[in-house]
Chain A
Amino acid sequence: MSDVLAVADHRRGELRDVSFEIVRAGRELAADLGGDLHLAVIAGDTEAFADRLSLAGVDAIHTVDAGAEFNHDLYAGATAALFEELSPTAVLMPNSVNGLDYAPAVANRLDVPLVADAVGLAYDGGLEATREMYGSKVETAVEVSEEPFAVTVRGGEWAAVEETADVPVETFDYEFDESASGARVQGFEEVGAGDVDIADAEFLVSIGRGIEEEENLELIEELAEVTGATLSSSRPIVDNGWLPKNRQVGQSGKQVTPDVYLAIGISGAVQHVAGMKGAETIIAINTDPNAPIFDIADYGIVGDLFDVVPALIEEFN
């Protein structure tokens, strides 16, 4: 048998989007391999999750009833045990933050090769995965000459499967003593609350690494003021402490859907794009004509923000 085992992702009672996307990735790979797609649902209300994940293309769902939330020892242990039980050719896990916290341990424990953050998968006698390198400037093909293998898949790269089906659900018994785990989740905290909610803004002027120095932020603040825009930023600006966390757009920040998103000096890393691609109109100013932000922009200016932004301020003064 050349089956595929995929693992769902959830948090605080909600399945995450990548759970529905990994079903598509897994189904396509299982079709190439000529095997079944098994889906693992670990921790939380597994019954409800299994019900929701009874999707077209899934051949079996395996629930692991242990713990309320993600714990990497549980996920790594249960996934590896299920792998031993099913002997699949491939195990797919999400390249989410939680995926980063357990998938490498699964691969190591099973002594199988790991391809991380795949954006494409094909199998024709061997796995060929597509990955990005150098900050998404290039794509690469990597071939894996050993089986079985492990892959983490990037969220947003496969269309979610929505069509439901009647999928058999089996309980997989896995003993887990959370108190014995060396890493114990104590709770969650929402960060970035503040006076402004950038998620509500209709017009965001967003600044990235291209601003170079903290004092240059004044220029962008002036632009925001004369245009009545709300100021937001990509991750490095918040990392530097130049703007508070509640201004950060991206995977680990806020998801925004303004009418206009003006990205200034932002290259468009995948984590940033995940937070702003829902904007109705995207306008980018960047010196690098190959910056990935232009791939999703409706309007582009290849130019120096220190020339363009003062001229733009002048337009509205």
Chain B
Amino acid sequence: MKILVTVKEVAEAADDFEIEGTDIGEQFLEYDLNEWDDYAVEAAVQLSEEYDDVEVVSATIGPERSEETIRMALAKGVDRAIRVWDDDVAAADLDVAAKTRLFASVVEEEEPDLVLSGVQAADDGFGATGVSLADEIGFDWAAVVNRLDTDDDLSTAHVHRELEGGIEELTDVDLPAVLTIQTGLNEPRYASLRGIRQAQGKEISEFGLADLGLDADAVASPIERTAMYEPETESDATYFDGSADEQAAQLADVLRDKGVVSE
């Protein structure tokens, strides 16, 4: 069995940042493995530990810098990695359809039995690539999965989908399938020192559009970000200033006034 995990390197903005053009200035961004994808990686690695002959392959659309993130996934137990990038991809503003086309080509190449993807990316928060990919490649799917059990013969996944308001939907999904993974599904492991060492020797294959049988049209997007701005602060909060003791004293007074704490 082969499991493909889509892994994204996401940017996180510092507490204090400045916007330059239509994005936050590079110097205010830090890059890390997308939190949702971390749970997807863990789910894949756990399956590989549970069953015999499971290969876990990660796929990333990202520049050379993202290899650091990919190595993290490799250190956690991913067997090998694919990174899709070239000048045309770099120049494009990738929308869901473009990412779908790129990943669909990777799927065609790798022929996985299961694709795991984070529900969403922490930076742009679209939450759409996994299901779009499933539809494109003709796999079944389930979105927002927070529990995953599989039949012994790996023909069916029994999943819980986390709905709003503390309700979960119990669904059976035939494999091959794409599952988008919600945080809390498992406890992502830390990369061990041994894992980090081993990751250095694992393969990261680099694919450009031509390698995937695609051309620049595949990443053309009709969606363009035209502006970025800090939302107008709606805060009309009363702030407590001073030392921590002074702040706490003012807060204590409010709690007493509201009658929720008595002495």
Contacts and interface: CB of A to CB of B under 8 A. Distances in A.
- Greatest chain A CB density within 10 A among B22, B166, B251 is at B166
B166 A114 contact: no
A20 B247 CA distance: 42
B158 to A, nearest CB: 8
B223 A301 contact: no
Interface stretch (A82-90, A162-170, A309-317): A309-317
B249 to A, nearest CB: 6
Contacts, number: 279
Interface core residue of B136, B143, B180 (most chain A CB under 10 Å): B143
B249 A133 contact: no
Given A137-B230, A298-B238, A311 B164 contact: no
Interface string B112-128: 00000001001111111
Interface string A1-43: 0000000000100001000000000000000000000000000
B261 A138 contact: no
Contact of A105 (B132, B144, B228, B254): B132
Contact of B129 (A76, A104, A289): A104
B244 A304 contact: yes
Contacts of A104: 96, 128-132, 135
B73 interface: no
Contacts of B126: 114, 116-117
Interface core residue of A109, A132, A142, A144 (most chain B CB under 10 Å)? A142
Interface stretch (A47-55, A58-66, A245-253): A245-253
A296 B234 CA distance: 7
Instruction: Please tell me the size bucket of the interface on B.
Output: 35 or more
B97 A108 contact: yes
B169 A138 contact: no
B87 interface: no
A140 interface: yes
A252 B222 CA distance: 33
B27 interface: no
Nearest to B13: A134
Contacts of B183: 235-236, 239
B68 to A, nearest CB: 20
A101 B245 contact: no
A271 B228 CA distance: 22
A303 B166 contact: no
B224 A143 contact: yes
Which of the listed residues A76, A137, A281, A307 has the most CB atoms from chain B within 10 Å of its own CB?
A: A137
A128 B240 CA distance: 39
Interface string B237-263: 111100011011101101100111111
A218 interface: no
27 contacts: A97-B162, A104-B131, A116-B128, A132-B231, A134-B24, A138-B13, A138-B231, A139-B228, A145-B224, A146-B222, A183-B140, A186-B171, A188-B163, A190-B168, A191-B166, A227-B260, A228-B262, A259-B260, A260-B258, A281-B254, A281-B258, A283-B254, A288-B15, A299-B237, A300-B237, A309-B248, A311-B244
9 A-B pairs with the lowest CB-CB distances in the bound complex, closest first: A182-B140, A311-B248, A307-B244, A146-B222, A239-B184, A203-B260, A104-B132, A104-B128, A315-B252
Given A115-B223, A133-B123, 7 more contacts: A104-B132, A107-B132, A108-B135, A111-B97, A143-B223, A145-B224, A149-B222
Interface of B: 11-13, 15-17, 19, 22, 24, 95-97, 100, 119, 122-132, 134-136, 140-144, 158, 160-174, 177, 180, 183-184, 187, 221-231, 233-235, 237-240, 244-245, 247-249, 251-252, 254-255, 258-263
